[in-house]
Amino acid sequence: MRGLFLKIFTLFWIAQSLIFVISTAVIINRRMPRQDFMVDPAQYEQESVEAVQSYNASGCAGFRGYERGHRAMAGLVDATGSLICEQGILNLPPHATFAEGLRAQQVDNDTLWSIPIAAANGQKLVYAVKVPRRWEPRGWWDSITRFASPQLPVAIAVGGLTTFILVLIFTRPVIRLRRAATQLARGKLNTRIRQTRWGSFFEGEEFNALVLDFNHMAERLQWLVDAQKLLLRDVSHELRSPLARLSLALELARGDADTTMGIHLDRIERETERLNQLIGQLLSLSSMEAAESLEKAQRVSLKQLLDEILIDAEYEAQQRDAGVTLQSVCECEVDGRRELLYRAVENIVRNAIRYTEPGSQVEICLRKDESCRTAVIEVSDRGPGIPESELEAIFRPFYRIDLARAAQTGGFGVGLAIAERAVKLHNGRISASNRAGGGATIQIAIPIAG
């Protein structure tokens, strides 16, 4: 979310700063005095005195001689506006006026300066100078810093502050909503977005409506999940008693059964045992889903845990003409509950034995990751593998990739769900991937005890 905040803040601030700079540049270009107006009037008054002195001494020839070293276009005008002497081509327009005092007026693309002065004989004259309008070279930034300081920096700073507050108001509700959605996705179904009085004032009705919809969705989702868990737990508990009575009746029936009936009773016994296993798994899954954290955690050696699992796994693999190998390079002690970890790894190993090809090996590897802070258990088989689109779905309860294949191998699709929940209770991660050459790998990562 920081990226979104910075993008909006930078865009708005640059836009406001450009508006300030461009507006200031336009104002300076239109209203700042021209360079030819920015002169010292005393300079022209002094020149007018010296020019008239030259005129008094030598007439128009003296005037022109003086002006050759000073002005390209200058002249003396009498009281009627008639030109007496000139240097260069003055070209006074008919509408030019000469009032009392120093004056500048626009004539075409030039500026005409007029300074009243008296000759030696008392004649009233006007010293006229035509100056071309021009600019001295000056960078636009120099002009802005000269004529717009400190207003422009203050405007940019205030614009940046207001933009920061505005963007913060826009993005903060999105950040709150994202955090709540993340918590909800992690399984914390009691997550709600709390509304405050000031938050309602600044965030607006649209976001408030979105918050209400999110809270309603989270509340409804929590109710549905809780109802499902309650139903699962109640059904499992209620089935235990009929199954217990069924097992008792089955043993009583064996005493009066003949050989043919005994075959059917054996089949009933197997199915009853499968139902007992399913109910036991459902109760385990229900209890782990209800738990928010581990209680009575203890130090567990994963190497010793795997050694114990290996004994039973090898016996079961022999029934399928397969084998199980264990490679461990560390003790890898973790904090947790031994029975939950045992059940999680055992479910994964037994699942791998069911699906590996006859004559192949199920490989169990225990190691540390590169940071040496996490213990990694990898269980790999040489079975048909898992479709890439279903690598995450296999950890859902009762999920099966292929119903026909599941019927052949047995199982109810609950073992991996139990493993996934047990690993998460230990602040770990579980994932599935396909092996090169066929088969799948289930990886468990659990933080090592400090």
Q: Which residues are catalytic?
A: 237
Cα–Cα–Cα angle for 335, 413, 337, rounded to 5 degrees: 15
Cα–Cα–Cα angle for 322, 278, 324, rounded to 5 degrees: 15
CA distance 61 to 86: 10
* Three-state DSSP class for residue 132: strand
298-301/110-118 β-pairing: unpaired
Task: Report in angstroms the alpha-carbon separations of 335 from 167, 294, 308, 428.
Answer: 44, 10, 18, 11
Task: Report in angstroms the alpha-carbon separations of 359 from 166, 325, 350, 440.
Answer: 68, 13, 16, 16
Q: Say if residues 54 and 66 touch (Cβ distance below 8 Å).
A: yes
Alpha-carbon dihedral sign for residues 319, 321, 322, 323: positive
CB burial string 388-417: b at 16+ within 10 A, e below: eeeeeebbebeebeeeeebeeeebbbbbbb
Strand residues in 103-211 grouped as ranges (E)? 103-107, 110-118, 124-132
Helix boundaries (H) for 86-139: none
CA distance 433 to 442: 7
106 DSSP β-pair partners: 111
CA distance 332 to 174: 41
